[in-house]
Structure 1
Amino acid sequence: MEYVQPPAGTLTTSLAAMAAGVQPATIRDWVRRGILTRCGGTPLRPVYRIEDVKAARAAAKPTRPGQRTVQVA
């Protein structure tokens, strides 16, 4: 079950993905790579600070030749 409304100043995985202009799988990848840190929620329904999502979007860099980059608008 998704949050009706996440705690103030935080985003769910799907909301963080929409805010960063990426897929939810990318948010989970950023967490796995240490670019983004969860700030609460549950193991199945994590939440992220808005500032951390913005920083992760700016910090995300390709790690393999030919990997696409995140376009910052």
Structure 2
Amino acid sequence: MEYLALPPGLVTTTTAALACGVQPATIRDWVRRGLLTRCGGTPKRPIYRLQDVLAARDAPKPSRMGQRNADHAA
């Protein structure tokens, strides 16, 4: 169940993903990697500041070993 209403500037995982054009799993990955911090909610229904979500979207992402990189595309 989603929240019925949130204060302005706060979003759920689903809404954050829609705002960034990514999957909800990507939002959860940003949290796990320390690029995004929850600002409330519950463990199963976290909420985030939209400003923080957009900053995480624009932050440089560290590459992982074996991950494809556009600079090295064949």
TM-score by length of 1: 0.84
Contact 1:36 1:56 in 2 (8 A): yes
Larger Rg over CA atoms: 2
> Matched residues, percent identical?
66
1:33 and 1:67, CA in 2 relative to 1: closer, same or farther beyond 3 A? farther
**What residue ranges of structure 2 are gaps of 5+ in the alignment?**
none
TM-score by length of 2: 0.83
The C-alpha deviation readout for 1:23-69, integer Å capped at 9, x for no partner, is 0000000000000000001111000001000100001425223068x
Task: Say if 2:73 is the partner of 1:66.
Answer: no
RMSD: 1.6
Kindly tell me the number of residue pairs found equivalent between the two proteins: 68
SS of the residue corresponding to residue 56 of structure 1 reads helix
